[in-house]
Chains A and B, each alone.
Chain A
């Protein structure tokens, strides 16, 4: 299911022009990271994908659905959205009920719901916590509950808003693994992140935004190598990309494997 955004403009009621002409195609199964300084319009852009925000002008098309013609509740069948702060989306008395809420609302039968819940809990390593109240879990695990509750809806498109904020190394690795499994299942994953090392290690395509526009859009190795352009939206290339550049590597590297290969050349 492709995403087609054409000439999207959005102004908040306060008059702030948050998006100034975004045109973008994301194909089914792509893994895309969106980076850029605070206020660049990243969250405003992704909130258009499930109809939480409607364009001031321009169109957003999810497969054959124009977001203007469908309710947010209906868009939720195609686009799942994991909020930055898990506490903005969790409300049930235990993890199992929380994660079942989404698929149940999509009208899946009990058996399907259970299967989706079990799979989502396994993917997020929460299988032993189904009876726990989400608010008795640490912030780390609440984040995983938020992920699971969206994954369980089995949408073709999944959006993560800043998934690694405040997470430790072990949990960042868990989140990276969730993204990998979603990739293997052919899901489209769109992730907003300030964690540029995480971006380099997990995403094939990178979009950099600045002041409501797309500054860069391309293969991760091409985009992340453009230090000067990224600097205009206050993004530093990943640590290993910078290191490779300082050492005079001819090719842009973005993870350990590529760096070590570059070192041997």
Chain B
């Protein structure tokens, strides 16, 4: 069942002439993990803001079409009602951290305080959420004393603690090292399996291929591809439009042109690449020499 539905959504920021989103039509089902990809400026963050209600409620500007989440319509709701259904973790955690709290623990509790959750429950939920994202040991630190990667975890945790139906994440691992990225993707995948709906704007294609159910490709404000990661991430159209694709896909495309890739479909992941290139190689190299 669709929990998020965008119909003919077109949006312009205030004082601008060109729409950033152009006639977007998309549905996201409950429990689905959808990745949104596209070059910078394609409209990924704006799409995140739109689902999360910041467009138009916070950013203003001119929107046409309808945005529905869990049966209510964005234009007919208030942002403070909307955030109970949809949580957004910002691309730059610095823009999200309240500045009103001295510790990570208090920062994560901030949203729950605002919706009047009882004290005992609040403490429990904050502790559970910090454990989930692996930041329990940061509880007493100042949010501003943390590294970029740690701040991103705090930003993510302060959204997760609200238990939104739909989780919107704008490049949540951009400042993390590979181990941090792997852990966060693991957490997101586990949440999606428990039924949380996830919309993730992301450049890290190899991770998307391994974790997301579906990929939506945005280009200059329009959806130009929407489907399974293995189809979308290998499409020639995306390569032509200059999307960042996995090295496995790019090298296999070149190998194909040289007659050294035989399968119909190009690989996205390491395992797919190994499987495909093994067909090309006459015999396993480096063994039994």
Chain A residues in contact with chain B, CB under 8 A? Answer: 36-39, 84-85, 138-140, 162, 165-172, 194, 196-197, 234-236, 238-240, 242-243, 246-250, 256, 259-260, 263-265
Contacts and interface: CB of A to CB of B under 8 A. Distances in A.
A235 B177 CA distance: 8
Contact of B286 (A165, A171, A234, A250): A250
Contacts of B91: 166
A163 B149 CA distance: 15
A166 B178 CA distance: 14
Given A38-B177, A234-B177, A250-B286, A168 B247 contact: no
A239 B278 contact: no
B177 A140 contact: no
A140 to B, nearest CB: 4
The secondary-structure label for the interface of chain A is loop
B40 A167 contact: yes
Contacts of B1: none
The secondary-structure label for the interface of chain B is loop
A234 B179 contact: yes
A239 B243 CA distance: 17
Residue from the set A85, A249, A263 with the largest chain B CB neighbour count within 10 Å: A263
Contacts of B40: 138-140, 166-168, 170-171
A243 B277 contact: yes
Nearest to B285: A248
A260 B255 contact: yes
B270 A239 contact: yes
B147 A38 contact: yes
B178 A236 contact: yes
A240 B242 contact: no
Contacts of A242: 270
B147 A39 contact: yes
A237 B160 CA distance: 32
Contact of B270 (A166, A194, A243, A265): A243
A247 B258 contact: no
Residue from the set B179, B254, B260, B274 with the largest chain A CB neighbour count within 10 Å: B179
B244 interface: yes
B174 A243 contact: no
Contacts of B281: 247-248, 263
Given A168-B39, A247-B277, A239 B248 contact: yes
28 contacts: A36-B177, A38-B147, A38-B149, A39-B147, A84-B148, A139-B40, A165-B175, A166-B40, A166-B171, A168-B40, A168-B244, A170-B242, A171-B40, A194-B178, A235-B178, A240-B248, A243-B248, A243-B251, A243-B273, A243-B274, A246-B274, A247-B277, A247-B284, A248-B281, A260-B254, A260-B258, A263-B255, A263-B277
A197 B278 contact: no
A172 B246 contact: no
A169 B254 contact: no
A169 B258 contact: no
B270 A37 contact: no
A256 B250 contact: yes
